[in-house]
C-alpha cells in the first residue's frame, strides 16, 4: 500500500496581507498529480486543513476542489482536524463529502479505524483530532489517575495513543496513526507554530507513539523525521520568511505485508520563491538584486545607520512582491543595552542627553564625530547667549 502524508494546508491564511489561495490551489493540484503518478492508495492530511475556525466561503471552495481532485485519482482520503480548525465545522462538512473521503474530528471515535485493504490484507488508520485537554478530559474519565490528570496536551496525546493501541488490539492488521501535536525533538519555526505548546508541558514524548507501523504528524511546517516511522510532512506552501529555506513536499510511505517498507520525499513546487535581502538600502536596490529577485517575495533588511525615506515605496519600485521591510542598523546589537529612560537618568551633560536620544531614535547608533562637534558648537553658542542676557 502506498500512502501520501501531507498536513497543514492552512487554507485561508494570508502572507503579509496577501491572499495565498491561488498559490495553494496550484500546489494542491501538483499534490494530486503526485498521487496519480505514484499510484497512491491513501492520502493522509494530518490537521490544520483551514487556518481559521471560521473559514471564508472561498476557503471551502478550495478544499472541495482539492478533495475532489484527490478523489478522482482513486485514492482514499483521510483527514483529521488541527488546532486551527473548528472540529465541529470540519466534521459537519464531512457529511457532504462522497465515499472515499473521511474527515475524523471525534476524539471518542479514536479506537474505531478507517480500514483500507490491499493485497496483504487490511490497513487500519486511526485518526486523532487535535485534543484540547479542557474539553476531552470530561469524556475520558477512565484515564489513569482520573480525568483531572489530563491537564496537558502531552497527557491527552499519551492517553489517545493508548486508545489507538486498544483499537489495534481489537482490529488485526497493519496500522497508521494520524495526529496533530508538538512532539519532542522537532525543530520549530520561531513565532509560527503556536497554540499547541505551552512551556515544555505540551511536548509529546516520542515513546507515546509506540505501536503503529507509521505515525503521520502535523503542526510543524517543515519536514521532520523523528524516527523511521514517526514523521512530519510540513506545510505544502511557505507561510513565513522563517520557512524560506525549508523544502515543501510530502512523504510517500509504502507498507508491505510486514509493515513499513520504504519512505520517499516528494518535493512540491514553490509558486513564488522567498528571499531575505540584507545590506544598505542602496545595496538592496542594486541592479544585480533586481535582476535576480524581481519576481520573488522579498524581505528587505536594510542596515543604514538612520531610517531611510519611504523604504517600502522605493523597494516595491524594484521588487513588486516586497512583503516586509525591517531596519536593523549595523552594530546596533553591540551598543548600549540600557533603555532610553535609563540612559537619560544617568546622563550628566546636555551632550550625553542628546547622545542618548540619538541612540534611541537611530536603533543604537549615536552621533558621528562631525555631529558631536556641531552639537558642542550649538550648546556653546547657547551658553554664550544666555550669559549675555
Helical axes 57-72 vs 21-37, angle rounded to 10°: 10
Contact 274, 293 (CB under 8 A): no
Which pLDDT does position 364 carry in this prediction?
66
Residues 75 and 151 occupy one common structural domain: yes
Give the integer Cα–Cα distance in Å for 149 and 223.
Answer: 32
pLDDT tens for the chain, 389 residues long, are 999 999 999 999 999 989 999 999 999 999 999 999 999 999 999 999 999 888 899 998 999 999 999 999 999 999 998 887 766 566 555 545 668 899 998 888 999 999 999 999 999 999 999 888 877 777 776 555 544 567 788 888 999 999 999 999 999 999 999 999 888 877 666 555 444 444 444 788 999 999 999 999 999 998 999 999 999 999 999 999 988 999 999 999 999 999 999 999 999 999 999 999 999 999 999 999 999 999 999 999 999 988 999 999 999 999 999 999 999 888 655 445 566 676 666 666 777 788 888 777 766 667 787 888 788 778 777 766 665 54
Give the integer Cα–Cα distance in Å for 152 and 57.
Answer: 33
Residues 7 and 29 occupy one common structural domain: yes
Contact 125, 174 (CB under 8 A): no
Residues 6 and 119 occupy one common structural domain: yes
Residues 201 and 246 occupy one common structural domain: yes
Give the integer Cα–Cα distance in Å for 216 and 231.
Answer: 6
Residues 167 and 247 occupy one common structural domain: yes
Give the integer Cα–Cα distance in Å for 255 and 325.
Answer: 47
Residues 144 and 37 occupy one common structural domain: yes
Residues 149 and 35 occupy one common structural domain: yes
Last residue of a domain, one of 293, 315, 330: 330
Which pLDDT does position 337 carry in this prediction?
56
Question: Which structural domain, as residue segments, surrounds residue 353?
Answer: 333-388
Give the integer Cα–Cα distance in Å for 277 and 230.
Answer: 35
Residues 223 and 339 occupy one common structural domain: no
Last residue of a domain, one of 252, 267, 282: 267
User: How, if at all, do strands 14-15 and 121-127 pair?
Assistant: unpaired
Which pLDDT does position 185 carry in this prediction?
76
Angle at 201 between CA 199 and CA 207, to 5 degrees: 130
Last residue of a domain, one of 310, 330, 350: 330
Which pLDDT does position 191 carry in this prediction?
52
Residues 218 and 366 occupy one common structural domain: no
Residues 258 and 215 occupy one common structural domain: yes
Distances (CA, A) of 146 to 66, 130, 160, 208: 42, 21, 14, 19
Number of domains the chain contains: 3
Task: Give the number of other CB atoms < 10 A from CB of residue 15.
Answer: 19
3-state secondary structure the chain: CEEEEECCCCECCEECCEECHHHHHHHHHHHHHHHHHCCCCEEEEECCCECCCCCCHHHHHHHHHHHHHHHHCCCEEEEECCCCCCHHHHHHHHCCCCCCEEEECCHHHCCCCEEEEECCEEEEEEECCCCCHHHHCCCCCCCCCCHHHCCCHHHHHHHHHHHHHHHHHHCCCEEEEEEECCECCCCCCCCCCCCCCCCCCCCECHHHHCCCCEEEEECCCCCEEEECCEEECCCCCCCCHHHCCCCCEEEEEEEECCEEEEEEEEECCCCCCEEEEEECHHHHCCHHHHHHHCCCEEEEEECCCCCCCCHHHHHHHHCCCEEEEEECCCCHHHCCCCCHHHHHHHCCCHHHHHHHHHHHHCCCCCCCHHHHHHHHHHHHHHHHHHHHC
Residues 184 and 294 occupy one common structural domain: no
Residues 324 and 213 occupy one common structural domain: no
CATH code: domain of residue 218: 3.60.21.10
Which pLDDT does position 376 carry in this prediction?
79
Which pLDDT does position 209 carry in this prediction?
95
Evaluate if pTM is beyond 0.85.
no
Which pLDDT does position 349 carry in this prediction?
73
Amino acid at each position: 500500500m502506498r500512502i501520501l502524508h501531507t498536513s497543514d494546508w492552512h487554507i485561508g491564511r494570508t502572507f503579509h496581507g496577501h491572499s495565498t489561495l491561488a498559490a495553494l490551489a496550484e500546489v494542491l493540484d501538483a499534490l494530486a498529480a503526485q498521487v496519480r503518478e505514484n499510484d497512491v492508495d491513501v492520502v493522509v492530511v494530518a490537521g490544520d486543513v483551514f487556518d481559521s475556525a471560521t473559514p471564508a466561503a472561498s476557503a471551502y471552495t478550495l478544499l472541495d476542489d482539492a478533495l475532489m481532485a484527490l478523489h478522482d485519482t482513486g485514492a482514499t482520503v483521510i483527514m483529521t482536524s488541527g488546532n486551527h480548525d473548528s472540529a465541529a465545522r470540519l466534521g459537519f462538512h464531512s457529511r457532504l463529502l462522497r465515499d472515499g473521503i473521511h474527515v475524523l474530528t471525534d476524539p471518542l471515535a479514536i479506537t474505531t479505524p478507517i480500514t483500507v485493504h490491499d493485497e496483504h490484507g487490511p490497513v487500519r488508520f486511526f485518526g486523532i483530532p487535535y485534543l484540547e485537554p479542557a474539553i476531552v478530559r470530561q469524556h475520558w474519565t477512565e484515564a489513569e489517575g482520573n480525568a483531572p490528570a489530563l491537564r496537558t496536551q502531552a497527557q491527552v496525546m499519551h492517553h489517545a495513543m493508548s486508545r489507538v493501541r486498544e483499537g489495534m488490539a481489537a482490529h488485526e492488521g497493519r496500522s497508521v496513526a494520524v495526529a496533530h501535536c508538538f512532539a519532542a525533538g522537532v525543530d520549530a519555526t520561531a513565532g509560527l507554530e503556536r497554540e499547541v505548546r505551552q512551556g515544555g508541558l505540551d511536548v509529546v514524548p516520542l515513546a507515546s507513539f509506540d505501536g503503529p507501523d507509521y505515525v503521520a504528524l502535523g503542526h510543524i511546517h517543515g519536514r521532520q523525521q523523528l524516527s523511521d516511522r514517526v514523521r512530519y510532512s510540513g506545510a505544502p506552501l511557505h507561510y513565513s520568511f522563517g520557512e524560506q529555506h525549508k523544502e515543501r513536499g510530502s512523504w510517500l510511505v509504502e507498507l508491505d505485508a510486514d509493515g513499513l517498507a520504504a519512505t520517499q520525499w516528494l518535493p512540491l513546487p514553490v509558486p513564488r520563491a522567498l528571499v531575505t535581502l540584507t545590506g544598505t538600502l542602496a545595496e538592496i536596490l542594486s541592479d544585480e538584486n533586481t535582476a535576480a529577485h524581481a519576481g520573488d517575495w522579498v524581505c528587505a533588511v536594510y542596515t543604514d545607520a538612520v531610517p531611510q525615506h519611504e523604504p517600502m515605496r522605493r523597494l516595491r519600485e524594484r521588487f513588486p512582491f516586497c512583503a516586509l521591510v525591517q531596519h536593523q542598523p549595523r552594530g546596533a546589537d553591540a551598543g548600549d543595552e540600557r533603555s532610553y529612560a535609563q540612559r537619560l537618568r544617568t546622563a550628566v551633560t546636555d551632550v550625553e542627553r542628546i547622545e542618548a536620544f540619538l541612540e534611541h531614535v537611530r536603533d543604537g547608533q549615536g552621533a558621528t564625530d562631525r555631529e558631536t562637534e556641531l552639537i558642542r558648537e550649538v550648546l556653546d553658542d547657547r551658553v554664550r547667549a544666555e550669559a549675555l542676557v
